[in-house]
A and B are shown apart, each in its own frame.
Chain A
Amino acid sequence: MQRNLLLGVEAIGQAAVDAGISGVYAYPGTPSTEITEYIQNNKTAIERGIHREWSANEKTALEEALGVSYAGKRSMACMKHVGLNVAADVFMNAAITGINGGLVITVADDPSQHSSQNEQDSRFYGKFAMIPVFEPSNQQEAYDMTYEAFEFSEKTKLPVMMRITTRLAHSRAGVVQKQLQPENQLKLPENLMQFMLLPAYGRKYYQNLLDKQGWLTELSEESKYNHFSEGTDKSLGVVTCGIAHNYLLENYKDGHCPYPVVKISQYPVPDKWLKKLENECDELLVMEEGYPLVEEMLKDFFGKGKKVCGRLSGALPRRGELNPDHVAKALGKEKPAPYEIPDSLANRPPSLCAGCGHQDTYFALNEVIAEIGNGRVFSDIGCYTLGALPPYNTINTCVDMGASITMAKGASDAGLLPVFAVIGDSTFTHSGITGLLDCVVENTNVNIIIVDNEAVAMTGGQDSSAKGRIEKICEGIGVSPDHIRLFVPLKKNHDEIVKIIKEEMEYNGVSVIIGRRECIQKIARTKKLNKAKKSE
């Protein structure tokens, strides 16, 4: 059978198309971005006219996907782990309403924080919402489980969470595809009040969700992605979740582990297999990517029962992604010491590209900071967050999408004046607008610098929903047009930029200063693309 080399994220994108989705809804975020990008460029998706534009943020994305489900069609929403925080409201409540057309919510976690503020484990959200969670262990399973997740969603009438982590998202392997399915026909929910969560309805639907839990466990026990494999050495029983399974097998020749193993790729956890393992083995070792969710469930609180080891016990590191070496150590395997890294090695952190406009904005802002003192620049999430590092050292905060404006407002309310917020164009439309409205309502003394590079740059230059709209949005919300200022972040404009910032700093109210110059990476990519189109 033909295998295609696909990244884990691409396998999920392909599977969703093959399963007959009518729409993918997402906001870019590493390591989830390429799922949507893959569908955007997929031939079938283009021919079918599957919805594949970016949404303003993860909340709007999931709500839109839920709307597709309401209309009876299949849809997928994709986000990174912290994106699910943004979408948490609709996520929790979609578990109560249930679905009409199959709905899959793919969440990509980032243990080791390769590109993220934290390494929260989305399986907890799945458990919190009490919906099925699929956690594939390899690229083929990522394809197969996504392909089947839509049908599973329709069978259980619940959204299904597809949980992956960075390693699987961004690793390639051969994947065999299944047959392309037709899209669902438009079909209203049988109960037109299914999505009506007035408390009287909500209570009933919540009870329905609770009633389904036993059935979901049974389905997990029957799932071909969860299994019990026998072992000859019962001194230890191993539980593996998702890709941790591979790290276990890597440590044994041809993958023949001597211990009994429960592999978990579908939640709620398969009780039957875990009980069998506990019954047969002297102690348990739980390997999971992310937080110790399963270990915590199995751990013996009063210490009267079986010993359970894992990330909590210290057998595996508490933080960061797993690897075959961590697992080898937990299994007590001795390996010869590897070569050491030479002392002379220097770190090479990421940095703003040569010629990036953010540099010019930061050098100008630094001149102002030199006069007013450090500690007054609240910032946000994007390439410009690199302004925290030398040689800029300009910004002081990066917490969550949009928090620059709102934290600056709070600091201003507290009397820290003057105060600045630095936010990107796409972050502004993602979660900055409501914060700006708060500032306008109270005419707070804040200076908001929107560093507009006309792209979602850090994730690869996707189109920003802010493009061509920022001034109108600010004016529409009520920012005085006199205090919406524009500059072009170029070295030659340094003095002018400093002057604008200083003038607005003097104004006791809401100032929005927009520095606009397209991302140089995006310009280069567009050029390349146009060249390729020409040569076709």
Chain B
Amino acid sequence: MKTDIILAGVGGQGILSIAATLGAAALNENYHLKQAETHGMSQRGGAVVSHLRISDKPIFSDLIPMGEADIILSVEPLESLRYLPYLSKEGTLVTNITEFRNIPDYPGLQKTFEELSGKINIIRIDADKIAREIGNPKASNMVMLGAASPFIDIHEEIIVEGIRTIFKQKGEKIVELNCKAFEAGRNFTVR
């Protein structure tokens, strides 16, 4: 078992909650895990990326080699493209479609995604809208994790267990909302 994930977003969007959830799930399964994060200057609204590697065998590099990521999971569409060289030819790109516009020259992306969809397996999801619909706009990251989960080699229930572990401190209501967000994202992909 091996899943290599590039997590992408903009500083402040909280991609690390996705990483922490999968980390808790991997630990529960006694898998090996390495997860490289971006701290420091880029966290001020810059591009941030996390390399998340889960395996049943020891993992050496903290960084995923180019062309070997099974999934690019991006909470922002422009950021999903930045790390494309990391994606394996059999890999899947899962991205939120809500744009985070904090730069003056934000490009139009529709044409780029249309071109890429002929070559790459792409899941584009309006995670913000789905999160709003289930009544927790803050849970869009768990919608994203749900949407990517069919491509992750960890059983669905184990990931949900991870969500429970991570959000436990915030109370049962928050836990349930995040679990619901995860299910909604997962249903979007597998329906």
- Provide the B97-110 mask, 1 if CB < 8 A to any CB of A, else 0: 00000111111110
Are A30 and B39 in contact, with the CB atoms below 8 A? Answer: yes
Which residue in B23, B44, B85 is a CB contact (below 8 Å) of A458? B44
Question: Which residues A237-281 have CB closer than 8 A to chain B?
Answer: 243, 246-247, 249-250, 254-255
Look across to chain A and name the residue whose beta carbon is closest to the beta carbon of B30.
Answer: A3
Which of B65, B111, B171 makes the CB contact (< 8 A) with A328? B65
A345 interface residue (CB < 8 Å to B): yes
Q: B47 interface residue, CB < 8 Å from A?
A: yes
B51 to A, closest residue via Cβ: A171
- For B45, the chain A residues whose CB sits under 8 A away are 348, 350-351, 353
The answer to whether A335 and B44 have CB atoms under 8 Å apart is no
Within 8 A of B (CB), among A313-345: 323-325, 328, 335-336, 338-342, 344-345
Q: Is B123 an interface residue (CB 8 A)?
A: no
Bound Cα distance A168, B59 (Å):
14
Is B137 close to A, CB under 8 A? no
Q: Is the CB of A338 within 8 A of B67?
A: yes
* Contact call A339/B87, Cβ cutoff below 8 A: yes
Q: Is B46 an interface residue (CB 8 A)?
A: yes
- The answer to whether A250 touches B61 (Cβ under 8 A) is yes
Considering residues A3, A33, A344, A383, which has the most beta carbons from chain B within 10 angstroms of its beta carbon? Answer: A344
Given the interface pairs A341-B84, A348-B103, the reply to whether A459 lies near B34 with Cβ below 8 Å is: no
Known: A114-B38, A341-B81, A342-B112. A172 touches B33 (CB 8 A): yes
For residue A416, CB closer than 8 A to chain B, the reply is no
The proximity string for B residues 79-121 relative to A, scoring 1 for CB distances below 8 Å and 0 otherwise, is: 1011011110100000000000011111111011001100110
How far in angstroms is the closest Cβ of chain B from A401? 15
Report the interface size for chain B: residues with CB under 8 A from the other chain: 59
B11 interfacial by beta-carbon distance below 8 Å: yes
Choose from A33, A115, A173, A386 the contact partner of B33 (Cβ within 8 Å): A173
Q: Are A347 and B44 in contact (CB under 8 A)?
A: no
CB-CB under 8 A from B59, the residues of chain A are: 173
**B82 partner, pick from A30, A341, A458, beta carbons under 8 A:** A341
Q: Mark A107-133, 1 if CB is under 8 A from B, else 0.
A: 000000011000000000000000000
Residues of B within 8 A of A33 (CB): 39
- Please tell me if A473 contacts chain B, counting CB pairs below 8 Å: no
A255 contact set on B, CB distance < 8 A: 58, 60
In the complex, number of A-B residue pairs with CB atoms less than 8 Å apart:
156
Q: In whole angstroms, how far apart are the Cα atoms of A324 and B105 in the complex? A: 32
Residue of A nearest to B44 (CB): A350
Q: A250-B65, A342-B112 are in contact. Are A383 and B44 (CB under 8 A)?
A: yes
How many angstroms from the CA of A7 to the CA of B39 in the assembled complex? 11
Give the distance to chain A from B29, nearest Cβ to Cβ, in Å.
12
Most B-side CB within 10 Å, residue of A338, A348, A535: A348
**Contact status A348-B33, CB under 8 Å:** no
Q: Tell me if B134 counts as interface (CB < 8 A to partner A).
A: no
* Most B Cβ at <10 Å: residue of A168, A172, A383: A172
B86 to A246, Cβ gap below 8 A? no
Q: How many residues of A contact B (CB 8 A)?
A: 52
Once the chains bind, are A173 and B35 in contact (CB under 8 Å)? yes
Query: How distant is A87 from chain B, measured CB to nearest CB, in Å?
Result: 20
Min CB gap A382→B, angstroms: 10
Instruction: Identify B46's interface contact among A324, A345, A348, CB under 8 A.
Output: A348
**Residue pair B85, A339 in contact (C-beta under 8 Å):** yes
Q: How far is the CA of A348 from the CA of B35 in the complex (A)?
A: 22
Q: Give A153 to B50 CA distance when docked, in angstroms.
A: 35
Check A340/B85 contact, CB under 8 A, given A174-B33, A335-B66, A351-B46: yes
Contact of A250 among B35, B60, B82, B104 (CB under 8 A): B60
Closest-CB distance, B1 to chain A (whole angstroms): 15
- Most A CB contacts (10 A, CB to CB) among B19, B36, B59, B107 go to B36
Residue in chain B with minimal CB distance to A251: B65
What distance in Å separates the Cβ of A535 from its nearest Cβ neighbour in chain B? Answer: 8
Decide if B172 is an interface residue (CB 8 Å cutoff): no
The interface residues of chain A lying within 8 Å CB-to-CB of B37 are: 7, 170-172
Q: Given the known A-B contacts A114-B41, A172-B23, A344-B108, are A325 and B66 also in contact in the complex, defined by CB atoms under 8 Å?
A: yes
Question: Is B32 located at the chain interface by the 8 A CB criterion?
Answer: yes
Chain B's nearest CB lies how many Å from the CB of A180?
A: 22
CA distance A445 to B187 in the complex (A): 67
Q: Does A349 contact B (CB under 8 A)?
A: yes
Q: Are B120 and A339 in contact (CB under 8 A)?
A: yes
Distance (Å) between the CB of A160 and the closest chain B CB?
A: 24
Distance A342 CA – B110 CA, assembled complex (angstroms): 12
Cβ of A196 within 8 Å of any chain B Cβ, yes or no, is no
Instruction: Tell yes or no: A31 within 8 A of B by CB.
Output: yes
Q: What 5 A-B pairs have minimum CB-CB distances, sorted nearest first? A: A115-B40, A30-B40, A350-B46, A250-B61, A338-B85
Please list 8 pairs of residues, one from A and one from B, whose beta carbons are closer than 8 Å in the complex, sorted by A's number: A33-B39, A338-B85, A344-B81, A346-B78, A348-B46, A349-B103, A350-B43, A532-B169
